[in-house]
Amino acid sequence: MELTANEKRLLAELGNLGSAEASVLADALSTDAAAVVQWAHLAAGRGLVQVSREVQEEYRLTEEGEAYARDGLPERQVVGSIDGEIPMGELSRHPLAKVAIGWMRKNNWITIDRGIAKKADSTPESPEELALKKIAAGVADPGECGELKSRGLVTVHEEVRWIIEITPDGKKLLEAGIDLRPEVGTLTREQIISGSWRDEALRRYSLATPPRRIYPGKPHPYRQILDEVRTLLLEMGFSEFSGNIVQSVFWNFDALFQPQDHPAREMQDTFYLDLTSPLPDGWEKIRDMHEHGGETSSTGWGGSWDRRKAEGSVLRTHSTALSIQYLAAHPEPPVKGFSLSRVYRRESIDPTHLAEFEQLEGIVMDEYVTFSHLLGFLKEFYHRMGFPDVRFRPAYFPYTEPSVEPEVWVDGLGWVELGGAGIFREEVTSPFGISHPVLAWGLGISRVAMLRLGLKDLRQLYKSDIDWIRNTPSYRRI
């Protein structure tokens, strides 16, 4: 059995005293009572001492209580001021009347009749007065102090005393002799170089005492998921692109063949800005596409396309606004690109809907890429994201045709919709001179984060509890 130096000192002291209160031992050992109790508990764990806790209640008068102990309770002071009878109106002018009237009635010291208070013939000592007297004299009876406590005249103080007593085992150990040399904690440079550490009693540290918790600086748990996705796409040969949060209505909607009266464009769903954005060269091709399908087999939306609407500005509602600009700048195949960017929707904020969240979008443009290849990319991507079971369902998005909605199997939830995909409509690509199919897929990555991190409330990602970050492990198996 390896005792700490402090346990040994405590035991040695108890060898003389047998049993003592912690504060007494603390004086003898030049420390504080809390430390003694801590050492004693350690030694008690080895059966060398016994620790007992005694609690004593002490009743103390509050400042107000002190005053009443001296001058009498309000009801006594007020009743003393009454001579026979007094109208209530007059009585209530006494500064203590508010407290006193109820108590005087309860004590049957007065009776009130038609607004006149009449003093009783005798006003014997009330239980409260008796209790107050006892407390002042230091002989409080806990059973009698309830009323005074609730009147705020008395407070109860608990005093804890720790009694430590050496056990027969402790005595035996002491008799066998213990090494009382002071223990060495942290080694000094001197002790290491000179080798004098060999002569010291080195403290042995207990593994039973948990270490202090320290917290490393670390990436946000959500960042780790975003970085995994980025790495995964870079590994698959995709190049990353990014762009401005503020986009013209032209790039956000018109270039994606979203009709100008589409409900998603309305103020209720999209954040608009008081800012005019100039149209890029070649905007006429987009107009023609909307009005009659340009030079494709499309009919277009019909009606007339309003240039002024396209010149408006919005906070980008989807990362597709960036994808189409990336394609416009890189119209020659092959192109494999992705962006991971925040998008904005004018939604009321609740646990599963936020006005801003991250969207991943991947695009592949090449000669002869097909819808089957799109499904192949989706399968590969979700497998690498840790979802082995993927299935596909028809979907509708204004700028893709055919469109598809991938679903992944999540234990406990079943099939979960996770993003959307499709081939960009020819109405979208042809105005920019893109003559090969563009496979595209998008994913609200915060939904993946919710699933992976087991979150109930998306806001935790952005307005984070630091303890949640501290206590979420950095590593998790995929």
Partner 1 sequence: MAIITLNYEYLERLTKTDKDTILKALPMIGSDIERLEEDHADLEFFPDRTDLYSVEGVARAMRGFLGIETGLPEYPVLESEIRFSVDPALAGIRPILGSAVIRNLRFDDASIESVMALQEALHWAIGRGRSKVAIGLHDLSAITPPFHYIASPRDRQFVPLDYTEPMTMDQILADHPKGRAYAGIVEHFDRFPLIVDANDQVLSFPPIINGELTRVTSDTTDILLDVTGTDERAVQNTVAIICSAFAEAGGTIQSVIIDGQKTPSLAPVERIIDCDECARLLGLPLTPESIIPLLEKMRFGAEPLEGSNVLVRVPCFRADIMHDWDIFEDVAIAYGFDRFPATLPPTFTIGTEDPASRLARIVSGIAIGLGYTEVMPFTLTNERVSYQLMQRPRSDAALTVLHPISIENTMVRTDLLPMLLEILQLNTHRELPQRIFAVGDVNDGAITYQKVAGAAIHPSADFSEIYATVDAILRELGVETLTIAESDDPAFLSGRQGAIMNGSEKTGCFGELHPDVIVGFDLEHPVIGFEIDLRPFL
Q: Which residues, 245 to 274, sit near partner 1 by CB under 8 A?
A: 245-246, 261, 263, 267, 271-274
Query: Among residues 140 and 423, whose Cβ is nearest to partner 1?
Result: 423
Q: Which among 56-64, 195-203, 279-287, 332-340 is the span making contact with partner 1, rule CB under 8 A?
A: 332-340
The CB-of-334 to partner 1 minimum distance in angstroms stands at 5
Does position 230 bind partner 1 by CB under 8 A? Answer: yes
Between 192 and 234, name the residue whose CB sits nearer to partner 1.
Answer: 234
- Tell me if 308 contacts partner 1 by CB under 8 A: no
Tally of residues, the chain:
478
Q: Which is nearer to partner 1, 109 or 344 (CB)?
A: 344
Other Cβ atoms less than 10 A from the Cβ of 162: the count is 20
**Cβ(134)–Cβ(141) under 8 Å?**
yes
Residue 351 interacts with partner 1 (CB under 8 A): yes or no: no
The rounded distance, in Å, linking the Cα atoms of 363 and 137 is 88
- List the Cα angle 348/349/351 in 5-degree steps: 135
Interface residues for partner 1 in 424-453 (CB under 8 A)? 425-427, 437
For the segment 31-60, give every residue that binds partner 1 (CB under 8 A): none
Residues 141-180 that bind partner 1 (CB under 8 A): none
b/e map 212-246, b = 16+ CB within 10 Å: eeeeeeeeebbebbbebbeebbeeeebeebebeee
Q: What residues numbered 275-304 form the site for partner 1, per CB under 8 A? A: 275, 277, 293, 296-303
Which two tokens mark 215?
């917290």
Number of residues that bind partner 1 (CB under 8 A): 94
- Which residues from 83-112 bind partner 1, rule CB under 8 A? none
Task: Please report how close the Cβ of residue 293 comes to partner 1 at its closest, in angstroms.
Answer: 7
Binding partner 1 (rule: CB under 8 A), the pick from 32, 402, 410, 476 is 402
In the bound state with partner 1, the residue whose beta carbon lies nearer, of 68 and 441, is: 441
465 forms part of the interface with partner 1 (CB under 8 A): yes
**Binds partner 1 (CB under 8 A): choice among 250, 251, 305, 344:** 344
Considering beta carbons, is residue 466 or 478 the nearer one to partner 1?
466
Looking at beta carbons only, is 14 or 314 nearer to partner 1? 314
Contacts of 457 (CB under 8 A, 6+ apart): 351, 352
Q: What is the 3-state secondary structure (H, E, C) of the chain?
A: CCCCHHHHHHHHHHHHHCEEEHHHHHHHHCCCHHHHHHHHHHHHHCCCEEEEEEEEEEEEECHHHHHHHHHCCHHHHHHHHCCCEEEHHHHCCCCCHHHHHHHHHHCCCEEEECCEEEECCCCCCCHHHHHHHHHHCCCCCHHHCHHHHHCCCEEEEEEEEEEEEECHHHHHHHHHCCCCCCEECCCCHHHHHHCHHHHCEECCCCCCCCCCCCCCCCCCHHHHHHHHHHHHHHHCCCEECCCCCEEEHHHHCHHHCCCCCCHHHCCCCCCEECCCCCCCCCHHHHHHHHHHCCCCCCCCCCCCCCHHHHCCEEECCCCHHHHHHHHHHCCCCCEEEEEEEEEECCCCCECCECCEEEEEEEEEECCCCCHHHHHHHHHHHHHHCCCCCEEEEECCCCCEEEEEEEEEEECCCEEEECCEEEEECHHHHHHHCCCCCEEEEEEEHHHHHHHHHCCCCCHHHHCCCHHHHHHCCCCCCC
CB of 225 to partner 1, least distance (A): 11
CB nearer to partner 1: give 15 or 259.
259
Q: Which of 15, 243, 280, 331 binds partner 1 (CB under 8 A)?
A: 243
Interface positions, 364-393, toward partner 1 (CB under 8 A): 364, 366, 368-373, 375-380, 391-393
Span of 54-62, 170-178, 186-194, 215-223 interacting with partner 1 by CB under 8 A = 215-223
Among 60, 98, 172, 470, binds partner 1 (CB under 8 A): 470
Which listed range, 44-52, 88-96, 191-199, 421-429, lies at the site for partner 1 (CB under 8 A)?
421-429
Least distance CB 219 / partner 1 (angstroms): 5
133 binds partner 1 (CB under 8 A): no
With contact defined as beta carbons under 8 Å apart, do 337 and 324 qualify? no
- Of 85 and 261, the one with the shorter C-beta distance to partner 1 is 261
d(CA 335, CA 60) in angstroms, rounded, equals 83
Residue of 121, 235, 281, 411 interacting with partner 1 (CB under 8 A):
235
Per CB under 8 A, the list member of 346, 384, 447, 452 interacting with partner 1 is 346
Shortest reach from residue 456's CB to partner 1, in Å: 17
* 215 binding partner 1? (CB under 8 A): yes
- Tokens 């690509």, residue located: 429
Which span (38-46, 95-103, 148-156, 212-220) binds partner 1, by CB under 8 A? 212-220
CB of 310 to partner 1, least distance (A): 16
Nearer to partner 1, 272 or 409 (CB): 272
Question: Min. distance of Cβ 34 from partner 1 in angstroms?
Answer: 21
Nearest-approach distance from CB 255 to partner 1, in angstroms = 17
